[in-house]
Amino acid sequence: MKTIDKVQKDRLPKFDSLQQQAFLELWKTYDCLKAEEEMVFGEFDISSQQYNALRLLKAVSPLSLAVSALGQRMITRAPDMTRMLDRLKQRDLIARVRRDDNRRVVEVTIALAGTKLLQQIAKPIRACHQRQFGHLSEEQLTQLIGLLQVARKPVEETR
């Protein structure tokens, strides 16, 4: 079996295109940032999707959201919203109610325990974000945010 030596390896193109390099750099960055975040969420026995759902429900509290509306607002699409909400319900972090005017629609609200969990996790999450992005200046963060918004715009418009 032949192997590539270091000299030959350095001559190979690393990426098919600049777009591919940008994508792979973004993916690698996401993976690093996600690992840091998962450690924090793991301490509270919650997933990032569950945290996101609780955060969205807290934002509309004391009102509720239909499950479909919650799913549309999620940062990442939950493949099985029902199962995720079941787990939150089992921990008494949310409440679900069927609408009287349309029994097919399920409304979700954050429960007191969910609000308390968000309060407990707030400081560790802020510290996590500081570790992830604290080395960047305000100008760099603003530029990064703008570039990420521009990069995903064509894809979001087709959803």
Number of H helices, E strands in the chain: 7, 3
Query: N- to C-terminal Cα distance for the chain?
Result: 47
Q: In the beta sheet, which residues pair with residue 107? A: 66, 97
pLDDT value, residue 120: 97
Percent of the chain with pLDDT over 70: 90
Token duo for residue 32: 């690093």
> How crowded is residue 35: how many other Cβ atoms within 10 Å of its Cβ?
9
* Chain segment 86-145, per-residue pLDDT in tens: 999 999 999 988 877 777 778 999 999 999 999 999 999 999 999 999 999 999 999 999
Give the C-alpha separation, 29 to 25, whole Å. Answer: 6
Cα distances from 142 to residues 104, 128, 149, in angstroms, run: 42, 19, 11
> How crowded is residue 40: how many other Cβ atoms within 10 Å of its Cβ?
19
Topology of domain 33-157 in CATH is Arc Repressor Mutant, subunit A (1.10.10)
Cα distances from 131 to residues 4, 8, 18, 44, 116, in angstroms, run: 38, 38, 28, 19, 24
* Chain segment 70-83, per-residue pLDDT in tens: 988 888 776 788 89
Domain extents for the chain?
Answer: 33-157
pTM assigned to the model: 0.81
Is 108 in a helix, a strand, or coil?
Answer: strand
Is 110 in a helix, a strand, or coil?
Answer: strand
